[in-house]
Amino acid sequence: MAYAAVDRRERVPGAVAALAATGLFGWALITGLGFDPVSHVVESLKTFDVAPEPPPPPDPVVPPPRRDKRPEGEAAPPNLRSKATEVTAPKPMIVLPLPPPPVTVAEKPGPGVQATSGAADVPGPGTGAGGVGNGFGAGGSGDGEGGGWEDETPPEQIRGNIADADYPSHLADAGIGGRVGVRYRVDPDGRARDCRVTRSSGTRELDALTCDYIQRRFRFRPSRDARGRAVAAEIVENHEWVPDGN
């Protein structure tokens, strides 16, 4: 195979033409795609401003201490030092039960509940009647079971009564009345005391007025025993309140 010799000066124009064609092709490619390398680099390097840090706050100003111009007071006197008394619980007391007292019995049996019987000034075994007492015999005057003097004089009313004017007007006008049964005591001084209603009239006001008038107004000659001594006695009676027109 034969090769022809080529002059170097003949190859230079061809190389230049090839380089020019390559450069033109690259330029056309870049222009057609709209690629701008310079602009792209500039956009990626955008910057922004950073605000500076604020200055630190100033140190607080502490005013110098002021001296109190008031005079100093005196110190208080020293306190008392004391120690509490030690208290201990008391020892429990053991109380022994006392023996039961002896039972006193009568020398002679009887129907009562006392250990002795009789009405003398001193206790004794008898059952007779002393001067004044509570024995079984017939003493002078007592509340025993014996039969004492029975010839006493009853009390006699000498003053005081319940009149029509004592009738409460509002009860009389309303036709309210009734019978009141009472029981009261006539003392040796002749006054009536301890009045009690044994049967109500049905009206509390009339019951109370009856006893009130008896105790304030009634006066008696007292009851007397066989020896002439004034003694207390009880009276049982009825008082009737009758309205006008009945």
Of the candidate ranges 104-108, 153-157, 178-182, 234-238, the one whose mean pLDDT is the lowest = 104-108
pLDDT at site 139: 40
If one compares 176 and 131, the residue with the highest pLDDT of the two is 176
Three-class SS of residue 115?
coil
pLDDT at site 65: 73
The amino acid present at 43, given as its one-letter code, is: E
Q: What share of the chain is helix, strand, coil (3-state, %, to 5)?
A: 25, 15, 60
For residue 1, pLDDT over 90 is answered with no
pLDDT at site 63: 77
Report domain extents, the chain.
156-241
Residues with Cβ within 8 Å of 180's Cβ and at least 6 positions away in sequence, in order, are 197, 199, 200, 201, 206, 207, 210, 238, 239, 240, 241
Average pLDDT for 27-41: 59
pLDDT at site 39: 52
For residue 220, pLDDT over 90 is answered with yes
Mean pLDDT of all residues in the chain? 72
What phi, psi does 75 have (nearest 5°)? -70, 150
If one compares 164 and 219, the residue with the highest pLDDT of the two is 219
Of the candidate ranges 40-44, 83-87, 94-98, the one whose mean pLDDT is the lowest = 40-44
- Highest CATH level, class, for 156-241: alpha beta
pLDDT at site 59: 81
Say what percent of the chain tops pLDDT 70.
Answer: 49
H or E segment to which residue 56 belongs: none
Q: Residues 38-74: pLDDT tens digits?
A: 555 555 556 666 677 888 888 887 777 777 666 665 5
Average pLDDT for 155-168: 92
Nearest to 155 by CA among 236, 209, 210, 212: 236
